[in-house]
Structure 1
Amino acid sequence: MTLIAPVTLDGRFVTLEPLSSEHHDGLVDAAKDGELWKLWYTSVPTPGGMAAEIDRRLGLQEQGSMLPFATRLKATGKLIGMTTYMNIDAATPRVEIGSTWNAASAQGRGSNPDSKLLLLRHAFETLGCPAVEFRTHWLNHQSREAIARLGAKQDGVLRNHSRTSDGVLRDTVVFSILEHEWPAVRTGLEFRLASRLPK
């Protein structure tokens, strides 16, 4: 069994910290930045529901199925969101990267590709995963395009796969990156991040 344990991952633009209840207030402020919980195609906790969401993620961590992180922007020291390894299969090992959201003001500034580079590098180079998975709502075109830009390949669509918070059935698009594809994906992400650094 591979040990998939809490770890701090430090990148160029962000630091991914093991999620704890101490992140609550900063994450509430991050969610208010853009009122992200109002986006119908994604699931971001409301300010009042943040504590319950942190507890939910930490509970899944105790069960071994999730490893949650808080995302901190290095330039300001502020928390900007959350991300996770989820649906962990420690025996393979295999993980899904998901349940991710970033404050509106941090989007398009390198935080997301940096976060993905950190998570993918740790999954492939430390945990030894043969594949890493991504899933998103069929109608979340922004997320689907972002996942494809990483270099992930679409595996298929799980139709009527789950229900959203308002009870509507959703189709889920599944993507993955395989270990032999990782070097090219890593190079692409490093190039994107280098282009954002000051000259």
Structure 2
Amino acid sequence: MNFSPVIENKRVRLEPLQEDHLEVLLPLALEPSLWTVGANHIASREDLEKYIRAAIAERNAGTAIPFVIYDRQVQQIAGSTRYAGLTLPHKRTEIGYTWINPELQGSGLNKAMKYAMLQYAFEVMDLNRVEFKTDELNMQSRNAILSIGCTQEGILRRHMITSQGRVRNTVYFSMLKEEWPEVKQRIFGKYDF
């Protein structure tokens, strides 16, 4: 298994997250609006250093594949995402820990990125299941997940404590390998990624 792939299409290139991405990610990561809803919170250089080190440690342990997001349209690093909770014996992963420059939200970047990641997960990694989860209060994320053809599976009540101390309910979504060909054609077929 390649834990440092480069995944790309016409709109986006996902590159392995490295410690030297700290400087380019820092101005984006310090945008407070990215952390109003969610389990993580980055408010300082030290927070981002810890976040990157933890992501790399998970990659080294074989449980995650973290990326920086490069937007080819604007030719700049736009944020970070990862395959998380990677469980190869059960052929599943989660796509998550996604944060994108607010100026690029709604630009089609997220959809192009999710397409690239789903395609790689099902067609290269040969996984059976890709999961997504988000805070019940994060309607923007919930709607985005539904818009790419995922199925809402349920809500885990009082599932996590956010970085702000709020006890959150978590909404789970998934896509299955058998669903991917139809979703690929129906949802993503109209885009030129």
> Structure 1 length normalisation: TM-score?
0.89
2:39 touches 2:160 (CA, 8 Å); kept in 1? Answer: no
The alpha-carbon deviation at position 166 of structure 1 amounts to 1.9
**Moved runs in structure 1, 4+ residues, more than 6 A?**
none
The alpha-carbon deviation at position 150 of structure 1 amounts to 0.7
- Secondary structure at 1:177's aligned position in 2? strand
Question: Hey, what does 2:147 align to over in structure 1?
Answer: 149
Q: How does 1:85-96 map to 2 (within 5 A)?
A: 85-96=83-94
The alpha-carbon deviation at position 131 of structure 1 amounts to 1.1
Residue among 50, 68, 71 paired with 1:70: 68
1:70 touches 1:79 (CA, 8 Å); kept in 2? Answer: yes
The alpha-carbon deviation at position 47 of structure 1 amounts to 4.2
5+ residue gaps in structure 2? Answer: none
Residue among 20, 30, 35 paired with 2:32: 35
CA distance in 2, matches of 1:85, 1:79: 18
CA distance in 2, matches of 1:44, 1:166: 8
2:3 touches 2:62 (CA, 8 Å); kept in 1? Answer: no
Question: Hey, what does 1:45 align to over in structure 2?
Answer: 42
Distance 1:102 1:37, change over 3 A: closer
CA distance in 1, matches of 2:90, 2:9: 26
Question: Hey, what does 2:160 align to over in structure 1?
Answer: 162
The more displaced of 168-177 and 183-192 is 183-192
Aligned length: 192
1:138 touches 1:173 (CA, 8 Å); kept in 2? Answer: yes
Residue among 128, 146, 160 paired with 2:126: 128
> Structure 2 length normalisation: TM-score?
0.92
1:159 touches 1:170 (CA, 8 Å); kept in 2? Answer: yes
One-letter amino acid of the counterpart of residue 72, structure 2:
K
CA RMSD of aligned residues (A): 1.8
Distance 1:40 1:175, change over 3 A: closer
The alpha-carbon deviation at position 114 of structure 1 amounts to 0.7
5+ residue gaps in structure 1? Answer: none
2:7 touches 2:15 (CA, 8 Å); kept in 1? Answer: yes
